Structure 1
Amino acid sequence: MPLMKPTACVALLGDLVASREAPDRSALHRHLLQAIRSANAGPQILDPLRVTAGDEFQGVFASVGAALAATFTLRAALHPAQARFGLGIGSVQIIDAETNVQDGSAWWAARSAIEAVEEAAHGAHRALRTGVAAAEGHEPPTASLRAAVALTDAALFGLDDQDVVILAGLRAGTSQAVMATRLQISPSAVSQRVARGRLAILAEAMTHLEEVA
Structure 2
Amino acid sequence: MFTLIGDIVGSRKIPDRSLAQQAISDALSRANEAIDTVQPLEPTVGDEIQGGFATIMNATLATLLIRLELAPAIDLRFGLGCGDVTVLDENRRPLLQDGPGWWTAREAINGLKNKRGTRYVAHADHAPTHAAQVNAFLLARDGLVATLNDRQRRMLLLSLKGRSQREIAETEQISESAVSQSFARGVRAVHEAQITFGKA
* Shared fold, TM over 0.5: yes
Mapped partners of 1:41, 1:182: distance in 2: 21
Note closer, same or farther for the CA distance 1:206–1:23 as it changes in structure 2 (3 Å cut): same
* Alpha-carbon shift at residue 174 of structure 1 (Å): 2.1
Give the counterpart letter for 1:134 in structure 2.
A
Q: Which ranges of structure 1 fall in alignment gaps of 5 or more residues?
A: 1-8, 122-127
Does 1:150 find its partner at 2:150? no
* CA RMSD of superposed structures (Å): 1.7
Matching residue within 31, 42, 55 for 2:23: 31
* Of 121, 125, 132, the match for 1:133: 121
Unaligned runs of 5+ in 2: none
Aligned twin of 1:206:
194
> Which AA in structure 1 matches 2:6?
G
- What is the CA-CA distance between 1:158 and the residue it aligns to? 2.1
| CA spacing shift, 1:111–1:142, aligned 2, 3 Å | closer
Partner of 1:6 in structure 2? none
TM-score, length basis structure 1 = 0.85
Question: Do the aligned partners of residues 142 and 200 (structure 1) sit closer, same or farther apart at CA in structure 2, a change above 3 Å counting?
Answer: same
Identity %: 36
TM-fit CA distance, 1:199: 1.5
- The answer to whether 1:48 aligns with 2:36 is no
- CA–CA distance in 1 between the matches of 2:40 and 2:17? 23
Answer yes or no: is the 8 Å Cα contact 1:84–1:118 preserved in 2: no
CA distance in 1, matches of 2:173, 2:86: 49
2-side partners of 1:193 and 1:97: how far apart?
45
The CA distance in 2 between the partners of 1:172 and 1:25, in whole Å, is: 28
Name the TM-score, length of structure 2 as normaliser: 0.91
State yes or no: 1:184 paired with 2:173.
Answer: yes
Query: Which of 75, 79, 84 lines up with 1:82 in the alignment?
Result: 75
How many residues of Structure 1 are paired with residues of Structure 2 in the alignment? 196
Cα distance per residue 1:58-103 (max 9 Å; x no partner) = 1111111111121121111111121111111110001122223100
- Assess if the C-alpha contact under 8 Å between 1:66 and 1:211 holds in 2: no
